[in-house]
Structure formats: C-alpha cells, structure tokens
Amino acid sequence: MPIVTTSGSHATEIYYRDSKGPGRPIVFIHGWPASEASWNRVTPALQEAGYRIIAYDRRGFGRSGKPGSGFDYDTFASDLDQLLTRLDVVDAVLVGFSMGGGEVARYIANHGTSRVTAACFVGAITPCLDATLADNPDGAFTPDAAAEMQSGLLADPVGFLTGFLTNFYSGPTADGGTRLVVPEQQIASSIGIAQQANVNALAACIPLWLTDFRADLAKLDIPTLVIHGEGDQIVPFAASGARMPQFVKQAIIRPLSFGPHGLLASHPDDVSSALLEFLA
C-alpha cells in the first residue's frame, strides 16, 4: 500500500494512489466525510487523456493514519506539501472538493506555486462560510451550527450521516422542492466510506468549514477553475463559488444548473469535461 510518512509534531501516514501516467500531474483532494475513492468516477477520463492521477486520503480519513492531532489547515497543507515533495511532483494541478478546496487555498498560501501551476475548486467551502464575521454577510454557516453537527455526529454517527448525505446528494426541483439526484445506494456506499474515517477526526473537521480563506486566496496567481452546483444544499453557490472572482483574479466559474453538492457522484462527466477543457 503506497504510503508517505509525514514528519513534524503531527506525524502520520498518508495513503495515496498514483497512476504514474506520462502527462501533467493532477492531485485530487477529497471532501467530508469521504476518501480518495470519491474521485473514482471523475479520474478515468483524465487518466485516459494522459494525465498523471494522484489522489490521497486526508489524515484521519480512508486508509491514512488515524492520529489524535493535526486537524487544522496548516497541518493539512503540510501533509500535502510532503506528499508532493516525496513524489517529486511539479507542474501540478490541485483539485479540491468541498473542504478539500481549503487545502488548495492554504497550500498555495503557505507553500507557494513552485510545484503547482493551476488550481480547481469543486463545490468548495472557499472563500469564507462564517456568517458571524461582520465583514462576511454572505456567509452560510455558523459556530453554533458546527457545534450542533458535531454533537449529532458523535451521538449517532450513522443516523447523522444518513441525513447529511441525503442533503449532500439532493438538488432543487422546478417547483421549489428538493430531490435525491443519485440512486439510494449511493448514500449507503458513502456511509461505508465515511466509516473508514475516525469519527473524532470527522468531528474535528466540522468547525474548520468556518475557516476564512480570503487572505489565502489573495495569493493565488495561477489559472483557477471553480465548479459548483447551483443547487448545492450543503455549501450554497451564492455563499461560495459565486464569490470566488472577488478574491481570485484568474477564476473561471463553471456553475452546474440544479447540481447538488455531491457532484463527483451526480455529475462526474461534467466535472471531468470541465477540467479537460480548462487544461487544454
């Protein structure tokens, strides 16, 4: 099993997969409560086009180590930096989904662009979801909501995840309602993947969705693609993807009509096609 062991005060093992393809490397960073497997429907078209596919499990998730510390974006960015360094990755495209978009922003802010030449945010929590900040009235999340989610998760993990993932994979209907846009079995599959993670790691990550990435995004000086479902029930488009051009000068937005948060399962072809067009 391919593993990179990180160094530092929060050392752990990071599991990754590497297609070792001949082309430009694309590094995929998953969301919550998932693993690198969440990219399985998106990556085949890119691998077929010759790109080198690298995807990894965040610490505490999937097949990576389950440490008791290091659940903050600076450490996540350090983990990513050590992975790229160990694999000698250059000219990379970083693609982050949901909270994985935070890793993209923080990595570039902390470690620069010597190894990275393009970025993509898919349904990402950037620029800032914290609605309690006086200068962020368009936020869509609060510390109280985060605490409530943590309590619900720890009290009844399967019950909480079932409800969360139902919203995750639901999009709007023409009459103003919502509907599940993937087969029911997708929820069960996603719960199985979530259960590979340490539940305390899952809980520790929830408040991180409040992170203010606006200063990080100001340092992005590379081509940037933003893909977001206009019907996202978890990370509303108006609070996130639609605002990205205010903070990233080179941002190109590809909104997906009626798309839910879980685009990697509901709209994988749209995501891969948008990436292929962006990178052409």
- C-alpha distances out from residue 152 to 146, 157, 164, 167, Å: 10, 7, 10, 15
> Phi and psi for 261 in degrees, rounded to 5?
-70, -40
User: Catalytic one among 35, 38, 64, 98?
Assistant: 98
- Give me 266's structure tokens: 């509901």
- Give me 248's structure tokens: 């990233």
- Give me 69's structure tokens: 């510390």
User: Catalytic one among 30, 228, 261, 267?
Assistant: 261
Measured over the CA atoms of residue 105, residue 109, residue 111 and residue 115, the dihedral's sign is positive
Beta carbons of 279 and 24 less than 8 angstroms apart? yes
The C-alpha atoms of residue 95 and residue 72 are separated, in whole angstroms, by 19
Which of 201, 173, 184, 195 has the alpha carbon at shortest distance from 59? 201
Which of 47, 18, 16 has the alpha carbon at shortest distance from 272? 47
Q: Does 232 participate in catalysis according to the annotation?
A: yes
Which of 88, 159, 139, 158 has the alpha carbon at shortest distance from 242? 139
Q: Does 261 participate in catalysis according to the annotation?
A: yes
Which helix (DSSP H) or strand (DSSP E) does residue 143 occupy? helix 143-155
The C-alpha atoms of residue 119 and residue 108 are separated, in whole angstroms, by 9
Place of tokens 């000086």: 221
User: Catalytic one among 232, 266, 267, 272?
Assistant: 232
∠ CA 61-121-37, rounded to 5°: 35
- The CA dihedral of 72, 76, 230, 279, to the nearest 10 degrees, is 160
Catalytic annotation, residues: 98, 232, 261
